[in-house]
Amino acid sequence: MEKKEFKAESRRLLDLMIHSIYTHKEIFLRELISNASDACDKLCYQALTDGSGLNRSDLRIHLALDPEGRTLTVSDNGIGMSREDLEENLGVIASSGSFRFKQELDKDNADVDVIGQFGVGFYSAFMVADQVTVLTRKYGEDAAWKWESSGAEGYTIEEAHRDAPGTDVILHVKPDTEDEKYGEFLESWRIQELVRKYSDYIRFPIRMEISKSRKKEDSPEDKPEYETYREEETLNSMVPLWQRAKGEVTEEEYHKFYRDKFHDYADPLRVFSVSVEGAVTYRALLFIPGAAPYDYYTKDFQAGLQLYSNGVLIMDKCPDLLAEHFRFVRGVVDSPDLSLNISREMLQHDRQLKVIANNLEKRIKSELVKLRNEDRGKYETFWKHFGRQIKYGVAGDFGAHKDLLSDLLMFHSSTEKKLVSLAEYADRMKEDQKYLYYAAGESPEKVDKLPQTELLKDKGIEILYFTEEVDEFCAQVLRTYRDKEFRSVLDQELEEGDKEKAKEAAEAHKDVFAFVKDALGDKVKEVRASARLKSHPVCLTAGEGMSFEMEKYFHAVQPDAPMQADRILELNVEHPAFQALERAVNADPDRAKQYASLLYDQALLIAGLPLDDPSAFADLVSGLMV
Ligand code: ADP
């Protein structure tokens, strides 16, 4: 028996595997099963050409555990290896996935954590085994070979016996240490779990003998006795849902798949599949969740789609496949082009992910539009949970995604009393309406009571209610929709008639306005006659630039450095309260000062702003009662 050394480059990878600190050592099983599956595929292909009459259904992968002997065996009845194949395949890292991984590691900032994303191949067995034996016989040959290695020193090959073609890879599992319990890979439940996690969609059955228990046949019903027995079972489900034709899968199957796979209690709002053949070939099955996970709007939430290559899991959450604004989407992407076993430049790999991500982004958008058209209720549920994400998408990245996302936006409407889209608003606009009007506040109910909305309502003009901080930022970034500008009700343009009236009122009551400005001092920038108030005596309007909603937002995020919007006090000269004020200005200036302060505080309250001095306000009100 001859002892041979590994080629230098194999050695380095092997060393890395043996001393691996990689936490997901479990992927070794995925690698060995993928190799076994490839071997079965290769035999299928060969059988096609040599007319041997072999059936695909004859091929299988078999797992066997021997906890006492501490071995785990992965067997297949695939193509097998000749002596030369063994030398060539297991003695060096040929053009394999392992090779690509090694190239990556040779770069300066190599990160062991990426191991799981590559096909690290056969050598990954050394992460959990201190000795590996391969017993193999090539299809069409009589001789069988035993390859054995205990790691970096080298390997041996000797002639052996195997009844039929195929390969057994026998792992002698490392002893447990304080930090690592390698024994877990000798436990049946753990192996079943790993097969389901990584290799569920391998197209050949992965079989293993399992211990089960059953009631003894002759034991009485009221005192049942049980016995254990062993039975071989197929561990994998073989055909991925996303590879099945759409008509073949029921909605309930899709929903169950979603709930199981993504651990959600709620059914998804929408399921859609994508199948693309071209520059990059892939299939995807995507879901719009029915509810936001509790940590969705925190930095703990991990977004991403599951990435498969030919049914083998490569990455559990691949964030590169999802645009940030659609990070709530869940699902899987399967692309044979990302094959684990074919050496490709990483750059190429990234480019492919980009192409897929771009296609999916467009598709997700169109599915959301369809959802709204087909089932408004479901879209509203979606909006309740993820609307804020879409708004962030519009406002973020300097508006780079606004064209894509603006169609999805929804706001409460003053006339419809429900959520409406911008398109719906624009369609209903009066011909001569110049702007898309909005009013901001804490909730639709509160905004609805804002005095400043009265004039527009009176004229039958629809107003969008902005109730989240991000809404005004959205409007700022969008600037226009269908060529009409957004405009706050606070700075609505007045019609000539209204303007004229306000001007006349200002002139007629000049001294009252001057008095109030004087009484309030720096608290207000200006006091003026209002042309937009109908039934209310007073309101507060922000000057150019910052709005009150923005002020509240900045105050919330940075309480120490509060920025203030300009305060302009508007008075309704037709209101009896104004008339009382005017009488007091002339007859009792002290009382008039109190009125001015009262009106200002009321205006603050209506705008949802804090009073400067709440107890002074309370004293003032009770003082006026006596
Ligand atoms: P990769 O699978 O990425 O090519 P590996 O290091 O896992 O790299 O395997 C190297 C080669 O060894 C494979 O390409 C294949 O030719 C051969 N091989 C590994 N496992 C088996 C098997 N179970 N049956 C037949 N050939 C195998």
- Angle in degrees, 0-180, between the axes of helices 589-607 and 576-587, rounded to the nearest 10: 150
Enter the DSSP assignment of 295: T
Q: Among the listed ranges 83-97, 481-495, 506-520, which one has the minimum average pLDDT value?
A: 83-97
Cβ 39 under 6 angstroms from ligand 1: yes
- Please say whether the beta carbons of 133 and 42 come within 8 A: no
Relative to the CA of 121, which ligand 1 atom is closest?
7
Average pLDDT over residues 115-138: 82
Name the residue of 33, 95, 96, 102 to mutate for ligand 1: max ligand atoms within 8 A of Cβ: 96
Relative to the CA of 123, which ligand 1 atom is closest?
6
Cα–Cα dist 122/126, whole Å: 8
- Residues 250-299 pLDDT 10s: 999 899 889 888 888 889 999 999 999 988 899 999 999 999 988 898 88
CA-nearest residue for atom 21, ligand 1, is 35
Could you tell me the distance, in angstroms and rounded to a whole number, from the CA of residue 282 to the centre of ligand 1?
24
E strands, 390-475, in order: 410-413, 419-421, 435-440, 464-466
Helix (H, G, I), strand (E, B), or coil: what is residue 419?
A: strand
Could you tell me the distance, in angstroms and rounded to a whole number, from the CA of residue 89 to the centre of ligand 1?
6
- Please say whether the beta carbons of 463 and 489 come within 8 A: yes
Cβ 537 under 6 angstroms from ligand 1: no
What DSSP element (H or E) covers 372? helix 346-374
Residues 317-324: contacts with CB under 8 Å, at least 24 apart: 318/353, 320/350, 320/353, 320/354, 320/357, 321/353, 321/356, 321/357, 321/360, 322/357, 322/360, 323/357, 323/360, 323/361, 323/364, 323/393, 323/401, 324/393, 324/396
Alpha helices in 124-170 (DSSP H): none
CA-nearest residue for atom 20, ligand 1, is 35
The confidence band for 340, taking pLDDT boundaries of 50, 70 and 90, is very low
Residue 478: what pLDDT? Answer: 93
Could you tell me the distance, in angstroms and rounded to a whole number, from the CA of residue 172 to the centre of ligand 1?
19
Cβ 167 under 6 angstroms from ligand 1: yes
Cβ 36 under 6 angstroms from ligand 1: yes
Relative to the CA of 79, which ligand 1 atom is closest?
25
- Residues 51-74 pLDDT 10s: 777 888 899 999 999 999 999 999
Cα–Cα dist 463/475, whole Å: 13
Q: In Å, what is the CA distance from 111 to each residue of 101, 211, 338?
A: 11, 40, 20
Cβ 540 under 6 angstroms from ligand 1: no
Instruction: Find the angle CA(272)-CA(387)-CA(258) to the nearest 5 degrees.
Output: 30
CA-nearest residue for atom 19, ligand 1, is 35
**What distance, in Å, lies between the first and last C-alpha atoms of the chain?**
113
Could you tell me the distance, in angstroms and rounded to a whole number, from the CA of residue 469 to the centre of ligand 1?
56
- Residues 213-263 pLDDT 10s: 998 888 888 888 999 999 999 999 888 888 888 888 899 989 988 988 888
Cβ 76 under 6 angstroms from ligand 1: yes
